[in-house]
């Protein structure tokens, strides 16, 4: 499994936790974590040469 897929799995887990959060601060925290994991996955794909620099900048 690609490293970026592990990051995307973590992002999905955070999204699920956000949906089940009991309060807004917790929901927001998990959504920020989800976004961070997705950004890491995108960066990892770029580092692995799977996306072009132009795609990475978008």
Number of domains comprising the chain: 1
Spatial separation of the C-alpha atoms in residues 38 and 54, rounded to whole Å: 18
Q: What is the pLDDT of residue 45?
A: 96
- What residues make up the domain containing 8? 3-57
Q: What is the pLDDT of residue 41?
A: 98
Predicted pLDDT at 53: 66
The pLDDT value given to residue 58: 62
Joined together, the tokens standing for residue 33 give 């974590």
pLDDT in tens, 8-50: 999 999 999 999 999 999 999 999 999 999 999 999 999 999 8
């Amino acid at each position: 499994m690609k490293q970026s897929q592990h990051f995307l799995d973590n992002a999905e887990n955070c999204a699920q936790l956000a949906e089940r959060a009991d309060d807004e601060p917790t929901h927001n925290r998990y959504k920020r974590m989800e976004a961070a994991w997705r950004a890491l996955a995108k960066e990892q794909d770029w580092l692995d040469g799977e996306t072009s620099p132009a795609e990475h900048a978008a």
